[in-house]
Copies of this chain bind each other. A is one copy, B any other.
Amino acid sequence: MRYGKDHKEETHKRVVDAAARRFRKDGIESTGVVDLMADAGLTHGGFYAHFSSKEMLVKEALVAASMKSRAHLQGQIDEARAEGRDPLEAIVRSYLTITHRDRPDRGCSVAALGSEIARHPRKTREAFTEGLEKTMGIIASALPEAVPNRTERAYAIFSTLIGALQLARAISDSTMSQAVIDAGVTAALQIGRCTST
């Protein structure tokens, strides 16, 4: 079948988006090329017309997920600012929720894949790092202007957020899981607000 001139590009995007979802849900290694293509409504044979290897799709999926996350983050910040609410509190409270804990496929790819990304090839980690740097800039921009070391605080806040979400997901006891989430909120706000140091 011959298709319109944007058709292939659209299919490509569809595979990347489906992969971003699947990877976050089941992990990168657990998800095969067959599953990935099936999720996009295709058969596996066409995969290598779009990506030179599974690793290249991993890279693209991480970049796509990162971009989407930043857009969401920026949206939360803008909305909070428009309504006179604290933008830091807005992003922290919307990140550490039960919904986010229970729907990794729709959420943050760093929380979902953090320990796995560290074991991927340098090129993949470079793409990840690039996205992460931008995300840190956005978090830093949500901090009160009076606060020093905004980038470093953004690093620490994000560390707390992904760590807490991962623990909350791994913990089998729901009370403890909830407590970890609550503790994460308190601590992240504290890191972002404390004017000393």
Q: Which residues of A contact B (CB under 8 A)?
A: 26-27, 29-30, 104, 110-119, 122, 125-126, 128-129, 132-133, 149, 151-153, 155-164, 166-167, 169-173, 176, 179-180, 182-184, 186-187, 190-191, 194, 197
A172 touches B119 (CB 8 A): no
Give bound CA distance, A180 to B110, whole Å. Answer: 15
A163 neighbours in B (Cβ, 8 Å): 114, 158-164, 166
The 3 A-B pairs with the shortest beta carbon distances in the complex, nearest first, are A163-B163, A159-B163, A156-B187
- A156-B183 contact in complex given A30-B29, A115-B112, A166-B114, C-beta closer than 8 Å: yes
Which of B117, B122, B170 touches A125 (beta carbons < 8 Å)? B170
14 A-B residue pairs with CB within 8 Å: A27-B115, A29-B30, A30-B119, A111-B115, A122-B172, A128-B171, A128-B172, A129-B173, A132-B170, A149-B183, A155-B167, A157-B187, A186-B197, A191-B191
